[in-house]
Amino acid sequence: GKKIHYKEKVDSTNNVAKKLAEEGAEEGTIVLAEEQSGGRGRLERSFLSPFAQGVWFSLILRPTFLPMEVSKMTLLAAVALTKALHKMGLVECGIKWPNDILVKDRKVVGILTELNASMERINYLVMGIGINTSLTKKELPKDLRKTVTSFTIENVPVHRQALLQEVLLQLERYYEIAETEGFKPILAEWKVLSMMMGKEVEVSEPGRSFTGKAVDLDDSGNLIVETEAGRETVLAGDVRVRA
Ligand code: BTN
């Protein structure tokens, strides 16, 4: 059966998972930790992961689709996570492009997907997921109080095991949809669960930044932003909803 590697403390579950994947671990293998000393986020940011205050884990996948479809896997994870959080009572959360889950403008889930692939095929993919469960405001460093939240901060009681179970169930469900029907139905759900569509946003990409209205997601999962100069396609970078 599939293995869950449970650890008390690691630098990053993504690092441990990558190592296991290199050693041939099968698809579905999970690395779960109580604490990360070097939790990582997108854009080389660090990700706060204190002892027992969240669900910090990584999932090894070996999908058969093309490497260029990988960004869509991240959108898939965001859809699955949002569904799971809704089921667990955090009904207010929504997706911020590409793959953060927020309550209002504070992050409750972050996803970091890392890939080992050639041009033609994916060798393995490590999907790292961090869900803030019982972080409290008091324990948050000051600079994070405006940008981070948790189940506890939102006054939603949470049971970590039940949450993880629901998350894995939803991930499996959407992964099966992707492999049988493709990503179209998943991108459609992403739009519904997004808290960005139709909103004024600020985009900062390496080398440029601009504002406009988030209007769509294209078939590759890029965000389409309508500006005064026309439609822009956002491939990477940071997008914020304007206050
Ligand atoms: C982000 O917010 O930009 C993504 C954060 C991803 C955090 C998770 S926690 C488990 C896994 N291990 C890591 O080091 N990062 C991911």
Same domain, 129 and 167: yes
Same domain, 61 and 178: yes
Scored b (16 or more CB within 10 A) or e, 71-100 reads bbbbbbbbbbbbbbbbebebeebbbbbbbb
Same domain, 231 and 113: no
Dist. CA 50–CA 134, nearest whole Å: 10
Q: Which of 175, 193, 211 is the last residue of a domain?
A: 193
Residue 114: CATH number of its domain: 3.30.930.10
Same domain, 73 and 158: yes
Could you read off the pLDDT of 82-133 as tens digits, one per residue?
Answer: 999 999 999 999 999 988 999 998 999 999 999 999 988 999 999 999 999 9
- Global pTM reads 0.95
Residues contacting 203, CB < 8 A, separation 6+: 209, 210, 211, 212, 225, 232, 234, 237, 238, 239
Same domain, 21 and 52: yes
**Could you tell me the CA-to-CA distances from 76 to 25, 145, 219 in Å, in that order?**
22, 28, 13
Which ranges constitute the DSSP H helices of the chain?
A: 13-22, 70-87, 160-181, 184-193
Could you read off the pLDDT of 65-87 as tens digits, one per residue?
Answer: 888 888 899 999 999 999 999 99
Mutate-to-test residue for ligand 1 from 129, 149, 239, highest number of ligand atoms within 8 A of CB: 129
Strand order across the beta sheet in which 238-241 lies: 230-234, 223-227, 208-217, 200-205, 238-241
Same domain, 98 and 182: yes
Same domain, 133 and 217: no
Same domain, 115 and 151: yes
Q: Which two tokens stand for residue 138?
A: 């008091």
Interface ipTM = 0.99
Q: How far is the CA of 130 from the centre of ligand 1 (A)?
A: 5
Q: How far is the CA of 110 from the centre of ligand 1 (A)?
A: 6
Same domain, 8 and 126: yes
Pair type for strands 30-36 and 4-10: parallel
- 3-state helix, strand and coil shares in percent for the chain, rounded to the nearest 5: 30, 35, 35
Q: Which amino acid is at 165?
A: Q
List the domain range (segments joined by +) for residue 53: 4-193
* Residues recorded for the chain: 243
Same domain, 26 and 131: yes
Same domain, 126 and 43: yes
Write down the pLDDT at residue 1: 57
Please report, to the nearest 10 degrees, the dihedral formed by the alpha carbons of residues 162, 186, 69, 36 taken in order: -20
Q: What is the DSSP letter of 105?
A: T
The binding-site residues of ligand 1, defined as CB within 6 angstroms of any ligand atom, are 12-14, 36, 39-42, 45, 47, 49, 56-58, 100, 110-112, 128-130
What residues of the chain score a pLDDT lower than 50? none
**How many domains are contained in the chain?**
2
Residue 219: CATH number of its domain: 2.30.30.100
Dist. CA 148–CA 133, nearest whole Å: 11
Write down the pLDDT at residue 44: 87
Do 133 and 158 form a contact (C-beta atoms < 8 A)? yes
Same domain, 64 and 166: yes
Residue whose Cα lies nearest atom 2 of ligand 1: it is: 110
Dist. CA 26–CA 1, nearest whole Å: 10
Residue whose Cα lies nearest atom 11 of ligand 1: it is: 128
Residues contacting 65, CB < 8 A, separation 6+: 122, 178, 179
Q: What is the DSSP letter of 152?
A: T
